[in-house]
Chain A
Amino acid sequence: MTTENRSSTIRLNRVTKSFGDVTAVDDLSLEIREGEFLSLLGPSGCGKTTTLRMLGGFEEPTSGSIYFGDVDVTHVPPHRRDVNTVFQSYALFPHMSVADNIAFGLRRKGMSKWDAAGTVADMLTLVDLEGRGDRKPTQLSGGQQQRVALARSLVNHPKLLLLDEPMSALDAKLRKTMQIELKRIQTQVGITFLYVTHDQEEAMTMSDRIVVMNHGRIEGSGSPREVYEHPATEFVATFLGASNLLAGTLETATGEFDVTRHAYGSFRSPRHRTPAGLSGSVKVGVRPEKMALQPAGSPVADSDNSLAGTVIVSTFTGVGNQYLVAAPHGEQFVVYAQNSGQAFAPRSGEDVVMTWPVEHTFVVQPSKAVPAEGDSDD
């Protein structure tokens, strides 16, 4: 590892943060690579905002340390950290103009008002707010205020930009636009972004890497595709997208496949789709869009897993059909079939066979409790 590489990495080393009896962040270790767009994804109360606040210097870890490169910044106050934050409430200074808000950081570094003005104008252009510099923040719309908050942080060229659910106050349509906009800006300025959100779609759209958190711990991490296709735990499998899961016992068979025995028989799954060190009680699963339905009794291909069931609900969504299928013991599976003109479209009440390729079958560690997706900050 080169020294240059080391000096630009941000590391959390076994960080724990407790508030009284409540452990918000539990022995968390994480590396943030230079220039990446990293999302901390999890339900409210999972510790993602506390993690962000410790990186920003607003909270001190109860134990563990935080390094920027080789420098231990665990106890360095916010104003001496090369990190900037976009707050959920934006926290724009209401008594200052938009330009003064953006210039605030530059002025603290001793830049004159005159020198700052040019840089501020460039930032306003970057966030598409040319000529709005002399407005007061309250005279701008929510989306514009958010871009001011972004500009105010980016203008300082921090090592790391922290974003605390910055889109939660925006409506759905504006959110979509801002997601693309934010990714564009990040690519353009090349600053490391740490984005905290409970919105899995937001995390998937923008991130180079996603870290899924629950109960103060990391449940899984990787590129959006990795995390989606190879969920490490039941929590990740259900929080990030939908999954059909069945409890079973993992048996390591010979060859390249694992076998999970369950109430209806067994499923095969590729060895590499089982997280290392897993054995005994597991859950075996598949994503709804990887499955297909066949008429009951029809032959199943050798490369597929299959399970018989009865269609309970069939919903036409335009781009596809969504089926709710019940297995004989009552477990329900969601099957998603794209509307590509294929013929078999069973009605509710019809007996079917669910099939899916063995290669899309994954095995996860069961989670104790899976909380529903929250919509507030933690």
Chain B
Amino acid sequence: MSAKRGRWLGLYSWLLLAYLLVPIVGMIFFSFNDVLAGRPTVTFEWNGATLRWYRELTNVVGLPEAFWLSIRLALASMVAATVIGTLLALALVRYEGKRFRGRTAIDQTLFMNIAAPEIVMGASLLGLFASYHVARGFLTLLLSHTVFSIAYVTVTVRARLQGFDRHLEEAAGDLGATPLTTFRLVTLPMIMPGVLAGAMMAFALSLDDFVVSNFVSGTTLPFPVWVYGASRMGVPPQVFVFGTIIFLLGFAGAIASLAMSRRAVKSV
């Protein structure tokens, strides 16, 4: 009976995998699809294989710029959100009572930040920037992306901190390490898996954000907003190539993270 159940479980797993992978595999597959006539746009009729879109990757006006903007934006907001989010997690776990008034309020805000519909946040950010006459562009995008990423970093790092033995930091101090050295040599290495996971999440959130970006981007278009704009006239096949590149980058990141956590498990 258990063999039979095992077979059904196997089938279910494969179906689920297929369901998750079909859109991605489809995108990669059709990034090699030729276009026979007219203005090149994505079609889902197979016209024969070509590497043309890979060769002409930068030929579409505005698309490479949008892609690089998104990468820079994702990196910058990742760094900002990771630093702020990690420090916030440390504060939330370490301090309470008189030393940290408003701790509960911050905790609730973080939750709301994750739970609130993005469209609400986007609209309110637009209102905020508009009423203070902040020109929309890279700065407003960076501020917005950092804001919605902080909560995710904090939650991830906090989970890692909860099982942390405070005696380790006391031991470092006991052995002559200043508080800063203790953080650098003991605390940070110990919570690093959480920090990296939070950073990767922040990067991914920024890279594919459309809703908030659409509100606060002005004429500076990140990749998802550019693609949305282009879709009204037909999406150029290069979008699939960029999509494939992003997927491969993410895939490599996931593999690297897995390998690192395997190593960490072995050594800890």
A interface list, Cβ under 8 A from B: 56-58, 77-79, 83-85, 87-89, 91-95, 104-105, 108-109, 136, 138, 152-153, 156
Considering the complex, give the chain B residue whose CB is closest to the CB of A85: B174
Can you sample 19 A-B contacts with CB below 8 Å? A56-B170, A56-B174, A57-B174, A58-B173, A78-B170, A79-B173, A79-B174, A79-B182, A88-B167, A91-B168, A91-B170, A93-B168, A93-B185, A95-B190, A105-B175, A105-B176, A136-B267, A153-B175, A156-B175
Q: Is the CB of B189 within 8 A of A84?
A: no
Q: How far is the CB of B253 from chain A (nearest CB, A)?
A: 22
Q: Counting CB contacts under 8 A, is B115 at the interface?
A: no
- Residues from chain A with a CB closer than 8 A to the CB of B170 are 56, 58, 78, 85, 87, 91
Cα–Cα, bound, A78→B182 (Å): 12
User: How many residues of B sit at the interface, in one of the four size bands?
Assistant: 20 to 34
Partner among A83, A87, A136, A156 whose Cβ is within 8 Å of the Cβ of B171:
A87
Cα–Cα, bound, A79→B175 (Å): 6
Partner among B168, B174, B176, B268 whose Cβ is within 8 Å of the Cβ of A109:
B176
Interface positions of B from 71 to 115, Cβ below 8 Å from A: none
Q: Is the CB of A91 within 8 A of B190?
A: no
Cα–Cα, bound, A57→B267 (Å): 31
Cα–Cα, bound, A105→B170 (Å): 13
Q: How far is the CB of B119 from chain A (nearest CB, A)?
A: 43
Q: How far is the CB of A123 from chain B (nearest CB, A)?
A: 13
Q: How far is the CB of B207 from chain A (nearest CB, A)?
A: 30
Q: Is the CB of A108 within 8 A of B167?
A: no
Q: How far is the CB of A10 from chain B (nearest CB, A)?
A: 16
Partner among A88, A94, A104 whose Cβ is within 8 Å of the Cβ of B175:
A104
Q: Which of B167, B170, B173, B174 has the most CB of A within 10 A?
A: B174
Q: Is the CB of A108 within 8 A of B174?
A: no
Cα–Cα, bound, A105→B181 (Å): 12
Q: Which of A57, A91, A104, A153 has the most CB of B within 10 A?
A: A91
- Residues from chain A with a CB closer than 8 A to the CB of B168 are 91, 93
Q: Is the CB of A87 within 8 A of B167?
A: yes
Cα–Cα, bound, A152→B173 (Å): 13
Q: How far is the CB of B97 from chain A (nearest CB, A)?
A: 10
Partner among A77, A89, A138 whose Cβ is within 8 Å of the Cβ of B173:
A77
Partner among B165, B167, B176, B268 whose Cβ is within 8 Å of the Cβ of A79:
B176
Interface positions of B from 174 to 223, Cβ below 8 Å from A: 174-179, 181-182, 185-186, 189-190
Q: How far is the CB of B179 from chain A (nearest CB, A)?
A: 8
Considering the complex, give the chain B residue whose CB is closest to the CB of A89: B167
Kindly list 5 other residue pairs between chains A and B, CB separation below 8 angstroms, not including A57-B173, A95-B189, A95-B190.
A78-B174, A91-B167, A91-B170, A104-B177, A153-B175
Interface positions of B from 226 to 256, Cβ below 8 Å from A: none
Q: Is the CB of B268 within 8 A of A94?
A: yes
